[in-house]
Structure 1
């Protein structure tokens, strides 16, 4: 049974670090809003469904690149430690340290967690430069399609002899 003042069973959730990260995210979004307004950025009147799909696909791929790709390990290394190999040359990291370091490690080792940050960055970019953002999202979307084709090809090869 947990203590009434304890957040989790292990007692090691870096709540203060999470609060700092939430504050940074909120301040970044608010700062972007103020800066965009001062520079005359006009928000789009609507967000077409196709752009939502494109932003969502790009967010998915950006979060996987940040949290699981070998090539971005240098970003995660100060906050995480490699614990294994995932599918398709992805890596699995776990957070290290305490406090803010641990909170950042939790963020960077979780594609679901990094997706909120990736989506925030892409949406801000979309508001300021929709054409450029669509191009970047198209590239990340193409990588996502290529990944799924690689998975399909591997599955086909593995099941061809069955």
Structure 2
């Protein structure tokens, strides 16, 4: 059985009456795997090495940066032109965040901060290999933005409770 026929049959059996674009997901996974493999190959060819260990501060920075960048790409009004070809605007979902309906698998990836987190964290990890100082600076910047967001939300809540 040719691979395309196999994928069609698998997609139909898996999805049933639901629209689950397994072939599109497979393409996205292939791009991700290819990007990771390319990064590893380039690192090996250029003599770059992964850090001996990732300390608690780097992990905290990476986590906060991943959170903020993923939400920025997936929800921020200013980044909506990046999502527009793949999503449909539905309204506001929270302070400075949009609700958009994905039109396809790429839309699911771009409008989902949880889905983007893997890509963002992987890019951050690659940055630690190829440009650690710049990556940490970008991480500190996005972590400061995330902390500012949380403070803005806390301030707004305090102002509402104060009447």
Point out where structure 2 has 5 or more consecutive residues left out of the alignment: 1-10
- Give 3-state SS (helix, strand or coil) of 1:122's partner: helix
Note if 1:23 corresponds to 2:30. Answer: yes
- Between the aligned partners of 1:73 and 1:5, the Cα distance in structure 2 is 32
Deviation at 1:40, TM superposition (A): 1.0
User: Higher relative CO (CA 8 A, sep ≥ 6), structure 1 or 2?
Assistant: 1
Q: TM-score, normalised by structure 1?
A: 0.91
The 5 Å alignment of 1:44-83 reads 44-83=51-90
Is the Cα–Cα contact under 8 Å of residues 86 and 106 in structure 2 kept in the other structure? Answer: yes
Q: CA deviation at 1:5?
A: 4.8
What TM-score, normalized to structure 2?
0.90
Q: Pairwise CA RMSD of aligned residues?
A: 1.3
Q: Which consecutive residues of structure 1, in runs of 5 or more, have no partner in the other structure?
A: 97-101
Distance 2:79 2:149 in 1: 17
Which of the pair is proportionally richer in helix? 2
Runs of 4+ deviating beyond 4 Å: none
